[in-house]
Amino acid sequence: MNILHLDSAITGEASVSRKLTANIVAKLTAANPGAGVSYRDLNEGVPAIDTNWFHAVRLAPENPSAEQQRLIDISDRYLAEVQQADVLVIGLPIYNFNLTAQLKNWLDQIARAGVSFRYTEAGPEGLLTGKRAVIAYSAAGTPIGSDLDHASGYIRFMLGFLGITDVEFVAADRLAMDREAGLARAQDALDRLAA
């Protein structure tokens, strides 16, 4: 089993989502001692896609410039990590009712027509199949699945669009209202999580 562990919280050691992802990975590796873990902290910076990225990655010139090749290499590296993973453990802290900009940038980097999905006569088809995703959702005031939550449905949709349809959530929500109850809900979900 290969596990890709992704964090994106800006709050460092105080981050609930980082603690949850670490606990999820610990549970998975305890049950699968031979598992390999790759770690990426998206908070260290994920380039946003822009016109230069479009010309380099999407248009895929036959002879890319050095700068275009650098952009291609960055996107390829993110995508290769996902392609090699059997399980993705993703930290999803909620800021302003949505996912972090870094996590959105990462999704933009890996959503590549013809590589991670393709268009068919029947509609789009995800190419990153056979993978499982466990999402560590943390929010001070945004209940998971509520009308205020614009993140959990989006990430589930995006992963499904790319072919990853086995998606589970370990959620610590409403922490500002009742931190102990929110953490208890997350622990209960973690306890029930299949390893």
List the binding residues: 15-17
Annotated binding site for FMN: 15-17
CB 49 within 8 A of CB 113: no
Structure tokens belonging to residue 38 = 């790759």
CB 20 within 8 A of CB 190: yes
Residue with tokens 């997350």: 186
Which amino acid makes up residue 123? G
Residues in the chain: 195
Please name every residue paired with 36 in a beta bridge, in sequence order, or none if there are none: 2
Instruction: Determine whether 76 is exposed, middle or buried from the number of CB atoms within 10 Å of its CB (0-12, 13-18, 19+).
Output: middle
State how far the Cα of 173 lies from the Cα of 128, in Å rounded to an integer. 29
